[in-house]
C-alpha cells in the first residue's frame, strides 16, 4: 500500500467547513482547493424550495452536483430535466446552466467544483452562517461583480426557470 500521499487525508464531518448565507441558500465549503491539492472543492448547498440562481456560466470549471434530498430541475445548455435524490449531474464548464428547487421540499446538494478554487466564491459573496438566514436579501452586487471577475463567472440573458 502506498502511503506517500497520506498527508492529504481529509475528513470533514457534518459540522466542519465554512458555512455562508448566499441570499437564503446556505452554502458550506466542506473542502477547498488548499486541502485537495487544487484538484477540487466540495460544497454542500441547502437550497429552499422555489429558489434558483441566475442563468450563468463557469469558464474552465466543471461542476458536479449530487442531489441528496429534494427535487431539482436543471437547465444546462439546451437540456432541461428534473431529478431527485441519488442523482448525479455533471454541469460542464463553459456551458450555461442553472437549477430550480421544485416542489415543496428544500433541496440538499453536494457540489464538486473542478479544478478547485472557485468554491471560495461563496465566501466572497456570502455572509457567515452563524444563525438563521439574514434578512438582508441577495448578496451585495459589488461583491458579486468582483467575485464573478475573479472566478470567471458570467451571467447569460434568458428567462428564469419556473416550476411549470
Answer yes or no: is 67 within a domain.
Answer: yes
Total domains, the chain: 1
Answer yes or no: is 78 within a domain.
Answer: yes
According to the model, what pLDDT value does residue 99 have?
A: 96
In tens, the pLDDT along 71-120 reads 999 999 999 999 999 999 999 999 999 999 999 999 999 999 999 999 99
pTM: predicted TM-score of the whole model, two decimal places = 0.89
Cβ burial, residue 7 (10 Å; 0-12/13-18/19+) = exposed
Three-state secondary structure call for residue 48: coil
CATH code: domain of residue 23? 2.60.120.10
According to the model, what pLDDT value does residue 42 have?
A: 97
Answer yes or no: is 125 within a domain.
Answer: yes
Answer yes or no: is 10 within a domain.
Answer: no
Range of the domain at 95: 15-50+60-129+140-149
Cβ burial, residue 84 (10 Å; 0-12/13-18/19+) = middle
Average pLDDT, the chain: 90
Answer yes or no: is 112 within a domain.
Answer: yes
Answer yes or no: is 34 within a domain.
Answer: yes
Answer yes or no: is 74 within a domain.
Answer: yes
Q: How confident is the model at residue 27 (pLDDT cuts 50, 70, 90)?
A: very high
Answer yes or no: is 3 within a domain.
Answer: no
For the ranges 10-24, 89-103, 127-141, which has the lowest average pLDDT? Answer: 127-141
Amino acid at each position: 500500500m502506498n502511503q506517500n500521499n497520506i498527508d492529504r487525508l481529509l475528513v470533514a464531518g457534518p459540522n466542519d467547513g465554512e458555512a455562508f448565507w448566499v441570499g437564503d441558500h446556505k452554502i458550506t465549503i466542506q473542502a477547498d482547493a488548499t486541502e485537495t491539492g487544487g484538484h477540487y472543492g466540495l460544497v454542500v448547498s441547502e437550497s429552499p424550495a422555489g429558489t434558483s440562481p441566475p442563468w450563468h456560466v463557469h469558464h474552465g470549471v466543471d461542476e458536479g452536483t449530487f442531489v441528496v434530498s429534494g427535487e431539482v430541475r436543471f437547465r444546462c445548455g439546451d437540456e432541461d430535466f428534473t431529478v431527485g435524490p441519488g442523482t448525479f449531474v455533471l454541469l460542464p464548464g463553459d456551458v450555461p446552466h442553472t437549477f430550480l428547487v421544485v416542489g415543496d421540499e428544500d433541496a440538499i446538494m453536494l457540489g464538486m467544483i473542478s479544478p478547485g478554487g472557485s468554491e471560495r466564491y461563496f465566501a466572497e459573496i456570502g455572509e457567515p452562517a452563524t444563525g438563521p438566514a439574514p434578512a438582508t436579501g441577495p448578496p451585495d452586487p459589488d461583491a458579486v461583480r468582483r467575485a464573478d471577475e475573479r472566478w470567471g463567472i458570467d451571467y447569460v440573458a434568458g428567462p428564469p426557470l419556473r416550476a411549470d
